[in-house]
Amino acid sequence: MRRRADSARRSDAFFLFCVYAAAAFFVVIVAALFVMLTKGSWLSLQTFGLKFLWTSEWNPVNNTFGALPLIFGTVVSSLIAIVLAGLVGILAATFLADFAPRWMARPLSFTIELLAAVPSVVYGLWGLFVLAPLIRSYIGPALQKTLGFLPLFQGPIYGVGLLTAGIILAIMILPTVTAISRDVIAAIPEDQREAGMSLGATKWETIRSVVLPAARTGIFGALILALGRAVGETIAVTMVIGNRPVISASLFAPSYTLASVIANEFTEATSDLYLSALIELGLLLFVVSFLINAMARLMMWTVFRDK
Amino acid sequence: MLVWVLAPALRLHVIKEVFVKTSLLQRVALGALIAALTAPAVAGTQLTGAGSTFVYPFFSKAFYQYSAKNPDVTVNYQSIGSGGGIAQFTQKTVDFGASDVPMSSDELKRAGDPVIQIPDTLGGVAITYNLPGVPNGLRLTRKLVADIFLGNVTNWNDAQISRLNKGVKLPNLPIIAVHRSDGSGTTYIFTDFLSKVSPDWKSKVGTGKSVSWPAASSVGGKGSEGLAGQVANAAGSIGYVELSYALQNHLNTAALQNAAGKFVSCSVGNVAAAAASKPNISATDFSIVNQPGANSYPIAGYSWVMLYQHGSDRAKSKVLHDLFAWLVSQPAQSMAGALDYVPLPSSVQKTAQATLKTMTF
């Protein structure tokens, strides 16, 4: 008996060690990333200081670097993506969990998850050769005709630009939003739905006031995870965003993201300051992701605290 | 699977992109791969190099042929971009580097040991455009190209353009100036040209592999394929691509007025004429844009190989010397011609050979 207890205690300690080590692994990786990025961008941090954050000139020829348009492009393209993917994803998840008959739900889920397996360069090519011409010839003009009074839809339409990048990103993060939301919604106990129905609520009312509120934290988590992917996506965005560091009110205008600049310019950057500025963009991307995550958590906490 | 069934357009484009457009490169790469897999493991000299993507198709084919003739030499070339090539060469993790622009004096200082730089091939930069109803060979002056990319000329019906193109119906379309968004030797040669022909460009923008594009209608495409895709998508677009890319993809290209006042198309012959008009080039005086001569195409440039003059491994230095002495000789250069590169003029071949002779081993 004694020996059995000893070995049990030992294996327990070993298991505990593994659990702690696995958790510590993430902390170490994140810390190491932060240290390396800071070290690499030191020259740029010293040269430009905080000015790096709110100046708009990105000029490798005379070594002047400012990241404001890149931060703008990253945040706006990701926001477009999360709004579009959130709408479609949550609706699709509701359908899969509550409406679709079993013979339909399975293949449909499979199809949606398949989207996640498509390499991002394929999305980029599709965006450049199919979506961009569609936006230039049909979607853009239609939006301009109906909503053209908004500054968002004014100005020349190039095909590539913020809107195109946002749509491509939305398609790319849709599987994450849908798959997780579907699992969360499906996990809501059936008796809660039945309770709603028995009070005389229609199917829509039940979903709106019983199912979705119960699933909101999980759905929110899905959106945050998807947003993380959108912020850091590189190749597909680079191919369709137009790669111009400007801030424009129009969604049709070209833009540029932090990740795209790094992908475009890192291989041919030779001066020390230039390289350092590019690494600082990496650091910024890290900080932007961190802030988005923190803000989302804060929002979740304040909005849902007393419900 | 449904994605593939539902989107034949997607499938078509992917297939086109992956299999048709890059077929040349793929064939070369596949050949090299098969050769590498089937070759018996010989204990010979292994050379590694890194750098320019522009020369990659030429290098793969040339090194493959060289290894076929000299089975004890294998060359592994990584096309990671000129900047990366210079960095690896400086850190001595590769035996040679390749760059679309020779190393600057600052970069040479960082390398420490003496470096020799020789031209390996050259290329032209073609101006391509998408104008419905306008055929190949639109005429443009050097100043107009600069004004378009500066954003001073903004519509295709501008009188300055129509005056040059009598009999061509130019549409009333805003001009979209498309550039390469990735740092690239092609951009360097193009902006070198613009700086030489336009004082405005020189003072406002300058020369570089990535620059701050001034035109209000500018859009950036990643890689030659991204740029060409953007031009093909949007009527009214104008952009610049390597000559070989323009030829292989049958793009419309403009005829430019050269320093002699003649309108010349971007062709292998006209780029060769530009190179031949400047027989003495060196790593510090290498620009061949805006050259005199009736046939000289005005936007062209060399690609370069970097080697250490006094390598620590003497046997390896000898092998490197022999390899590159062959690469800049006529047989290898005519092979470059078959791949739509422009062969080095014979005077430049001689200079390169003389520079290689200064290596010690």
d(CA A223, CA A225): 5
pTM summary value: 0.85
How many CB atoms lie under 10 A from the CB of residue A119? Answer: 10
Q: Which of B17, B107, B234 sits opposite A158 (nearest CB)?
A: B234
Residue B110 or residue B195, greater confidence:
B195
Q: Which of A81-85, B20-24, B249-253 has the lowest mean pLDDT?
A: B20-24
Q: Average pLDDT of B226-249?
A: 92
Q: Could you report the predicted ipTM of this complex, rounded to two decimals?
A: 0.84
- Chain-chain contact of B84 with A267 (C-beta, under 8 angstroms): yes
For residue A267, pLDDT beyond 90: no
pLDDT classification of A246: cutoffs 50, 70, 90: very high
pLDDT at B110: 87
Percent of chain A with pLDDT over 90: 64
pLDDT at B7: 46
* DSSP secondary structure, B2-49, as one string: HHHHH-HHHHHHHHIIIIIITHHHHHHHHHHHHHHHHS-----EEEEE
pLDDT at B17: 46
- Chain-chain contact of A269 with B10 (C-beta, under 8 angstroms): no
pLDDT classification of A1: cutoffs 50, 70, 90: low
Structure tokens at B353: 């050979």
For residue B66, pLDDT beyond 80: yes
pLDDT at B69: 93
Q: Which of B107, B208, B222 sits opposite A238 (nearest CB)?
A: B222
For residue A282, pLDDT beyond 60: yes
List CB contacts of A144: < 8 A, sequence separation 6 or more: A153, A154, A157
pLDDT at B42: 46
For residue B236, pLDDT beyond 80: yes
Angstrom CA distances, B6 to A104, A270, B328, stand at 17, 45, 51
Structure tokens at B305: 């190989």
Quick one: DSSP state of residue A266? G
Q: Where are the beta strands (DSSP E) in chain B?
A: 45-51, 73-78, 96-99, 115-129, 139-140, 176-180, 218-221, 237-242, 255-257, 263-264, 300-308
d(CA A35, CA A15): 30
pLDDT at B191: 96
The C-alpha of A132 sits at a distance from chain B's nearest C-alpha, in angstroms, of 7
Residue A217 or residue B288, greater confidence:
B288
pLDDT at B12: 44
Per CATH, the number for B124-300 is 3.40.190.10
List CB contacts of B147: < 8 A, sequence separation 6 or more: B153, B160, B198
pLDDT at B6: 40
Q: Which of B13, B104, B210 sits opposite A268 (nearest CB)?
A: B210
For residue B68, pLDDT beyond 60: yes
Q: B292-323: per-residue pLDDT in tens?
A: 999 999 999 999 999 999 988 888 999 999 99
The C-alpha of B220 sits at a distance from chain A's nearest C-alpha, in angstroms, of 5
Percent of chain B with pLDDT over 70: 88
Q: B171-204: per-residue pLDDT in tens?
A: 999 999 999 999 888 999 999 999 999 999 999 9
pLDDT at A11: 86
pLDDT at B30: 53
- Chain-chain contact of A268 with B10 (C-beta, under 8 angstroms): no
User: Residue B97 in 3-state DSSP?
Assistant: strand
Could you identify the residue written with the tokens 């359908």? A95
Adjacent-strand bridge partners of B201: none
Delimit the domains of chain B by residue range.
2-38, 47-122+303-356, 124-300
The C-alpha of B294 sits at a distance from chain A's nearest C-alpha, in angstroms, of 33
Q: A15-49: per-residue pLDDT in tens?
A: 999 999 999 999 999 999 999 999 999 999 999 99
pLDDT classification of A102: cutoffs 50, 70, 90: confident
The C-alpha of A286 sits at a distance from chain B's nearest C-alpha, in angstroms, of 22
Query: Is B47-122+303-356 a CATH 3.40.190.10 domain?
Result: yes
pLDDT classification of B10: cutoffs 50, 70, 90: very low
d(CA B58, CA B333): 9
Q: B325-361: per-residue pLDDT in tens?
A: 999 999 999 998 888 899 999 999 999 999 999 999 8
Q: Average pLDDT of A237-242?
A: 94
Q: Which of B80, B206, B212 sits opposite A267 (nearest CB)?
A: B80
pLDDT at B83: 82
**Contact predicate B334/B127, CB 8 Å:** no
Nearest residue of B to residue A236, measured between CA atoms: B222
Quick one: DSSP state of residue A46? H
Nearest residue of A to residue B205, measured between CA atoms: A61
The chain-wide mean pLDDT, for chain B, equals 87
Q: Which of A108-117, B34-43, B199-208 has the lowest mean pLDDT?
A: B34-43
pLDDT at B87: 87
- Chain-chain contact of A267 with B182 (C-beta, under 8 angstroms): yes
Domains of chain A: 41-306 (1.10.3720.10)
The chain-wide mean pLDDT, for chain A, equals 90
